Structure 1
Amino acid sequence: MASLLLRTLLLLLASIQGCLVLSSKIVGGKPAIPHSRPYMVSLQVQGNHFCGGTLIHPQFVMTAAHCVNQINPQLMMVVVGAHNLEVPETVWQVFSVQRLYSNDYDDKNKLNDIALIELDRPATLNAEVQVAPLPTQGQSLPAGTQCLAMGWGRLGTMLPIPSVLQELNVTVVTFLCREHNVCTLAPRQRAGICFGDSGGPLICQGVVHAVDSFIIGGCASQRHPDFFARVSLYVDWINSILKKAEEKQEEEKDEEGLWQASGSSMGNP
């Protein structure tokens, strides 16, 4: 029975080589300085981290569409201000999901792998919780640009998930990449994103230029770059959603103010 199980596992592993694998962990990285990445978000179900995200507005998180397209939003929790996921801190802020937004995500071809999560209330910005800036619409990211990938994913395909946030210095490359992706490698290292960091940010020159999307063939294989969704293609779409949400909030405040004024003049309690 044991040998049959082993053969089955080996066949399964062999079958996925060369196939697209949704990525979610950092291989070959190092622990981040606690709370040094205050825009980093943990998406969780029943207290278990499953994807990363980036706080881009007090009430909006950007993540990968494949992270959320098949999950009931009512089951999701969003944690900001975290570093060690096994040790809750008073600086944690935990939210539920009010609404999800996607932009024609194509699961088959891994296109438009970007989504926005509207939180049930705005986050309180402080030293441990900050918003990451976006690039401009259409902004390019030249090959050779130095960036930072991060996440709470596995340290290797068969290694455990770390409790503390990991980060990795990577370089933007163009070989084998697609125009709508940003691709990276960690030069001279067996390192890269892996199973579990999906949805996390790629930070380049202080800006969140991309969202962790997928890998080909295996974690840190060095045969293929790591693939991220290029954020600069979606900035106008993102800003339109943020603007509509802010306008709606202003309308609700005005209506509440009118109701309170009307109630006061009528002498109601």
Structure 2
Amino acid sequence: MIMIILPLLLLDSLLPHLSFSASVNVGIVNGTEARPHSRPYMVSIQQFGSHKCGGFLISDQFVMTAAHCREGAETLTVVAGAHDLLDKKKKSVRVGVRSYVKHPSYKPFPELQGDIMILKLDKTVTLNKEIKTIPIPTTPEELKEGTSCSVAGWGRLTTNGAASPKLIEANVKMMSKTGCARRWGRSYVASEMICVYGHGGSCGGDSGGPLVCGNTAAGVTSFGGKDKCNDPNLPEVYTEISAFLPWIHNVTNSYC
């Protein structure tokens, strides 16, 4: 736990000195516990056996997450089929990561552009009722303002509170790109980012999880306001998956 907590404390100590008013590693506040295994595509990305980020299965051998979830050369593992991360009796599956592929345009904090990464697993996972994939967009398509979507994760329940061992979910709505640009200014890149708002939303501990619209993963959780989780003045920002489709196909096809 110390190895996980210390980097977060160091990040918190640096944030007040940065002009960029965002925070990475976001999760869910003001949400409700998801029905166990109702989101079978969700995975917990872990370091030293502790949850670090969220992610989601796009095939039986690839996980999509945020690029900032691995800034160094640390070894990460993926846990699929989990609901309660503390429940050791459940038959969740832990899989190692063979390759970490970040988008070549990725710029780390505080810019966070190209914040998307694909993990090639050590082995394929067996898909069943508790472990499934989620579709991603097939064409670049802008979601309309007000579209209903949802987010989920194992992150903090309040701004400075503890993380949830159980998967929490919340409903959100799509914000227009012009509205998001007006709130975030230069931090927002309309060609590759989307924003949402709602009663429930982001907090510390679960970057990389999917923004789900309909039955499709439309975005990857990237960043939000640094001082308050689910800040109404600073909508949560997600990497727009449809903006990276050629790269995604190239990565996944190259391993087939």
Q: What secondary structure, in the 3-state scheme, does the structure 2 residue paired with 1:53 have?
A: strand
* Distance (Å, rounded) in 1 between the aligned partners of 2:30 and 2:90: 30
Quote how far apart the aligned CAs of 1:61 are. Answer: 0.2
Aligned to 1:176, which of 170, 173, 180? 180
Q: Give the residue type in structure 1 aligned to 2:239.
A: A
TM (norm. structure 2) is: 0.85
* Distance (Å, rounded) in 2 between the aligned partners of 1:200 and 1:176: 20
Q: Give the residue type in structure 2 aligned to 1:165.
A: L
**Does structure 1 conserve the Cα–Cα contact (< 8 Å) formed by 2:26 and 2:224?**
no
* Distance (Å, rounded) in 2 between the aligned partners of 1:237 and 1:36: 29
TM (norm. structure 1) is: 0.81
CA 131–142 in structure 1, closer or farther in 2 if over 3 Å, else same: same
**Does structure 1 conserve the Cα–Cα contact (< 8 Å) formed by 2:147 and 2:174?**
yes
Quote how far apart the aligned CAs of 1:71 are. Answer: 4.1
Q: Does residue 240 of structure 1 match 2:250?
A: yes
Pairing 1:82-231 to 2, within 5 Å after superposition: 82-104=82-104, 105-107=106-108, 108-174=110-176, 175-177=179-181, 178-179=189-190, 180-186=192-198, 189=199, 191-217=200-226, 218-231=228-241
Q: What secondary structure, in the 3-state scheme, does the structure 2 residue paired with 1:26 have?
A: coil
**Does structure 2 conserve the Cα–Cα contact (< 8 Å) formed by 1:82 and 1:88?**
no
* Distance (Å, rounded) in 1 between the aligned partners of 2:14 and 2:216: 38
Pairing 1:32-43 to 2, within 5 Å after superposition: 32-43=34-45
CA 155–240 in structure 1, closer or farther in 2 if over 3 Å, else same: same
Structure with max Cα Rg:
1
Quote how far apart the aligned CAs of 1:59 are. Answer: 0.4
Quote how far apart the aligned CAs of 1:23 are. Answer: 3.2
Quote how far apart the aligned CAs of 1:195 are. Answer: 1.1
- Count of aligned pairs: 232
Question: What is the CA deviation profile of residues 150-189 of structure 1, one whole-angstrom value per residue up to 9, with x for unaligned ones?
Answer: 1000001121111100000000002124412110000xx3
* Distance (Å, rounded) in 2 between the aligned partners of 1:15 and 1:157: 19
**Does structure 2 conserve the Cα–Cα contact (< 8 Å) formed by 1:137 and 1:234?**
no
Stretches (4+) displaced over 4 A = 10-18
Q: Give the residue type in structure 2 aligned to 1:213.
A: S
Q: Which residue of 1 aligns with 2:22?
A: 20
Q: Structure 2: which 5+ runs fail to align?
A: 1-11, 182-188
* Distance (Å, rounded) in 1 between the aligned partners of 2:100 and 2:15: 33
**Which sits farther off after the overlay, 219-228 or 120-129?**
219-228
**Which sits farther off after the overlay, 117-126 or 211-220?**
211-220
Q: Structure 1: which 5+ runs fail to align?
A: 1-9, 247-269
* Distance (Å, rounded) in 2 between the aligned partners of 1:117 and 1:11: 30
**Does structure 2 conserve the Cα–Cα contact (< 8 Å) formed by 1:182 and 1:227?**
yes
**Does structure 2 conserve the Cα–Cα contact (< 8 Å) formed by 1:26 and 1:167?**
yes
Q: Give the residue type in structure 1 aligned to 2:180.
A: L
Q: What secondary structure, in the 3-state scheme, does the structure 2 residue paired with 1:43 have?
A: strand
Q: State the identity as a percent.
A: 36
Q: Give the residue type in structure 2 aligned to 1:241.
A: V
